[in-house]
Structure 1
Amino acid sequence: MGTASRPASVLSLALPALVVLAAEPLYLLVDTAVVGNLGTVALGGLAVGGGLLAWAAALLNFLAYGTTARAARRAGAGDRAGAVEEGVQATWLALGLGVLVLALFQVLAGPLTRALAGGAGPVATAGEEWLRVAALGAPLLLVSLAGNGWLRGVQELRRPVRYVVAGSLLSLVLCPLLVHPAGLGLVGSAVANVAGQALTAALFVRALLREGATWGARPRAIVRQLVIGRDLLLRAAVLQLSFLVAAGVAARAGTAALAAHQIALQLFFFLALVLDAYAIAAQTLVGHALGGGRPDEARATARRVVLWGLSTGCLVAVVLLALRDVLPPLFTDDPAVLAQAAVVWWFLACFQPLAGVVFALDGVLMGAGDVGYLRTVTIAAALVGFLPLSLLAGPLGLGLAGIWTGLTLFIALRLLAVLVRVAGDRWLGAPETVRT
């Protein structure tokens, strides 16, 4: 058992994590602006191809969160070499999964982009062209996720910031140059994307090399990582399915409803990045505490991150309500869309405090290795709350109010479940995640 050390503060871990979480969305905004100058076909192609790649990355994000939990346990027990070893095995797993994703996209790029674009046409063709090139970066992207995971686990979050920012800056510089002066068009965007991912992945691999890690692949360790990954993957898949169904129902309610839903949903995803930074801090701190045999410290961390998540969620809610007549017009001037956005806005603002606590406690339970419980809770909340109300919103004529009531219920049910879990003791003895 490792000796206790002065724990890092929630903010000292959450702020660097927020920078890493925000880097990719901010780059995508610039990428979208650059490609937008090529015309609507190129922009549509980027949306289709980029959406597919982002979907794959979201499903495989367990490479970051699962590795953090395992590495934090080892680091908390005073076994830094073991924590680094988790990073090595996660990197091998990332490479294997990345090559699989690359192969799937090369084979299925055409059918997938046509399905997402609503059939064959110039947008589907542009999306396929972008995706075939950008998919070359899939193994690199997943290696970076694994690198983020083990460095978070050893409470080193400043290095990931430098690595991710360096890759994003390279992409930002190359994207406009390759798209316009070099004349590559939409393909230039994909090349810039891959170049940035290559730099970031190389920096994460260099970090492992500097630790003097042994690079042999250990199948048993990789299988154990896949076990925790399986639960997180199922959880992510249910989340993606729920939001996809909600979007489909919104589309059937009309163009204005779909546009308002998209505006509010993108704001929800962006704000989730802010709140998810507390989950990463909680995961790291709880993993360290339990790895070092300090359950009281883990409980204290849970209380602190709940307060941070709740207070931040309340602040976000107040800001959203204060700016309810200012923010929506930044996205559209269509009166019909603005009218629909006004309905959704109250839901978006009012459940932020609940979301702040849910995301924070998700991190606590991930740090404890209690991902099986999180998987079950997420699936149950989606099947009982989000999906039924979303599907009934159309037949009952509830529109966006019905869809967003479902999302609110989804968050509320998860909140109740994680509060009950953390109030007890079972999460402190969650299934071991670091045996080798």
Structure 2
Amino acid sequence: MALKITVIGTGYLGATHAAAMAELGFEVLGLDIDPAKIAMLERGETPMYEPGLEELLRAHVAGFEGASGRLRFTTSWEELADFGDVHFVCVNTPQKHGEYACDMSYVESAVESLAPLLRRPALVVGKSTVPVGSAARLAKRLVQLAPAGEDVELAWNPEFLREGFAVQDTLHPDRIVIGVDGGRAEELLREVYAKPVAEGSPFVVADFPTAELVKTSANSFLATKISFINAMAEVCEAAGGDVVKLAEAIGHDERIGKKFLRAGIGFGGGCLPKDIRAFMARAGELGADQALTFLREVDSINMRRRGHMVELTREAVGGSFLGTRVAVLGATFKPDSDDVRDSPALNVAGQIHLQGGQVTVYDPKGMENARRVFPTLGYADSALEAVRGADVVLHLTEWREFRELDPAALAEVVATPRILDGRNALDPELWRKAGWTYRALGRPQA
């Protein structure tokens, strides 16, 4: 008999996972406590922008032409427990307010709500990023609360989604990691992921602690690599070097690789910053805090880039933002997303605004979310309108639309053709030929 799958939490991770499981051929029931979000998903709409996700939803939610009907949504825990054989927990684990530590309340609430309703054998699979040691504790709690007792097992299956590529990453993952503690968990998850594994996705079986550590370790390594090249940008500026050429040269070393060696204003979003901070906090609780002290400098370098961009902008406009018009291209923390959580671009825009600059922002997808965070900033409907009358233009999110802009057309509407490339993603020669003063982080000014 085919497995039936449930997904608890229908945010970015949950909505994507639910649609992907339906695409893989399973009957899927998604749960959220927010009726408005459930109604949106049933209309084939998503609460966030993610390329390809709405199309995938409409391929499987009943009511759309040609839809499989394999994907449904509910607010009922009882319906969820009765329906599912494998329950994926995909709720948020944000940073605690005022602390580095991870807020586990949503995960714990999901377990407390589901477990008492599990009257037959079931597998609960955590996908949320949690502090190491959480899975063992939650596994015991499940057995205590579930009427089915030890027939309810837990596994940990960390997610590795990249915003902008989440559908691809779920259907064709570059690896599948599961943490298990015996029982049928491995067998069931091999059945769930049979298609990706048959296509060649590696299937890594580990214990609970190792599986929990994989996501935070991967994000810490990535954050370290980004902050390393940004630190080199600081040295290049002091020494008169070119960080782009430096990155190209060291990237040819196969031990280092070329990816994520583009210097800029740093990383943001809902994962990297809070994950490395939670990792440091948990290491301290385990008595291994010295092992991760380097992550404090990684975090410091990253945050310093934002302030440096503000200072370069102030310098460009003559030392004061008062009476200046600043155009900001980009509000999201990365392209192909509408996510502005801990966005370096929006942070820079906000700092300049608070220091007296008249800031106008344009982003292809993040305008609505940006307005919620910084309603006092100015917003434009296009890049051309954003730069109109500007004394300086800041390129802060590397959308393809911005790389394809016509510098000559923009030069006709700005007050001063001056651009600061906070992502080292534009072609300096193209902009300079169009009459712009171009400057990028870690590169010579001429």
Assess same fold via TM > 0.5.
no
TM-score for the superposition, normalised by structure 2? 0.26
The answer to which structure has the higher helix fraction is 1
Higher relative contact order (CA 8 A, sep 6+): 1
Which is greater in Rg?
2
